[in-house]
Every structure is written in C-alpha cells, then in structure tokens.
Amino acid sequence: MKWPWQRELAQSKRIRELLAAHLALPLGERWPQHVPPGALAALLADLPQGQPLQDETLELLEGWLRPGGSEYCAIGEDWDAHAQFWRTLAQRFPDQPRLLGNYADTLLMMGQIDQALEAFLTAFERDHSLISGYGGNHLELLKARGGQFWLRYRLVELEAALVSADADEDYARDLLRDILEEHRDNAAAVAEIEAKARAARPK
C-alpha cells in the first residue's frame, strides 16, 4: 500500500520521465522547449482516469507546457493539439478548474475569443482564485464584449469579495454599488446581481 504522498511522487515522476523521453532531454532540462503532439498524446494516455490528478503533476505539466511567458515556444505550430490536450484534461478532471483556465488561455492565444471567454468564465465561476491567474488580456476583452460576458465576470468578482476569508466589507459594498450602477438600465441584471449578493453574504 502506498501513502498518498508516495502516489503523488510516483505520478509526477512518470510524467517527468515521459516528457524527457519525448523531448530527448536530460530530466533537469526543460525550458523552453517545443512539446509536440506525440508527447501530448503519450501524456493523455498515461495520466490517470478515475483517479485524482495530483497538484504536483499539474504544476509539472504547466511548467513544461505553459512555461511562464514562453507558451509560444512550447506550442510551436501545434495549436490545435495543445488546446485539445487542456480541453481533454479539463473534461477528465472537472474538479480542477485550472485545467479549463489553461484551455481558455490557449484558445485566447489562438484568437478564438468568444470560446476562450466562455471557458474562462466557467473556470472562474468554479474557482474564484483563478481570476488573477492569467494576466489582464481576458479582462479587457470581457469588458469590451459587455452583455452577459461582463455581467458573469462581475458576479464572480462580487461573490469572491463576499465569501473571501478576509473579506473587506467596504470593498464588497463599493463593488456591489459599482456593478449595480453599471447595469442600472437592465432590470433583469439588477435582480440577478442583488440575488447573488444576498446568496453570497455570510449568514
């Protein structure tokens, strides 16, 4: 029987070995390198189904495939393969919204704006902490799209402000006022905002 930490190390060790083998690199060398579709297919075949994806494994995958500003180098010309990789993982592990956020960010780099924003919003709604994890490009695009895109984002912001462990009541109140002001001409949106505020406030 393996303890959980032993299973985590075994999972990430296997993924590290797979990546190094497909890229023909020593284990300690990885960044920045092009990761081809063959390596992605091997990873998908090896990653667990019906088991949790360990945090260390996710961090390892992001380190190889989303290496801190050098994603273009890792992706090369294989945009569709990389997008499909993150989409497949997001479907396989729906309890880890970061995977969906990574898929959204790849779509954004591909210029598939509306699909990217929809995926971002779904990821943010599942995990508020992801809002600040992908730079600011999506924020300007959401605001420019307006409508339900912007309203959904603002509702996530509001809920995050209200449920945060160190919630700032003044900030949350000011944010609610600003969001209501933005949507004052849309009665349905105002009702949705007020309902979200009531539901999210600590009991």
Residue 19's nearest CA partner among 3, 4, 34 is 34
C-alpha–C-alpha distance, residues 84 and 69, integer Å: 20
CA atoms within 13 A on the CB side of 102: 29
Q: Can you read off the two tokens belonging to residue 152?
A: 């959904």
* Cα–Cα distance, 123 to 96 (Å, whole number): 9
Residues 73, 63 contacting (CB under 8 angstroms): no
pLDDT tens digits, 79-115: 999 999 999 999 999 999 999 999 999 999 999 999 9
Peptide bond into 32 cis (omega under 30): yes
- The DSSP call for residue 31 is S
Whether residue 3 has pLDDT greater than 80: no
The radius of gyration of the chain's CA atoms, rounded to the nearest angstrom, is 20
Confidence band, pLDDT 50/70/90 cuts, at residue 158:
very high
Check residues 136 and 202 and name the one with the higher pLDDT: 136
DSSP for 143-166 reads: HHH-HHHHHHHHHHHHHHHHH-TT
Token pair, residue 67, equals 């290496």
Model-level pTM? 0.87
How far is the C-alpha of 73 from the C-alpha of 79, rounded, in Å? 11
| CA gap 144, 6 in Å, rounded | 47
Query: pLDDT of 28-86, one tens digit each?
Result: 565 567 889 999 999 999 887 777 888 889 998 998 899 877 888 889 999 999 999 99
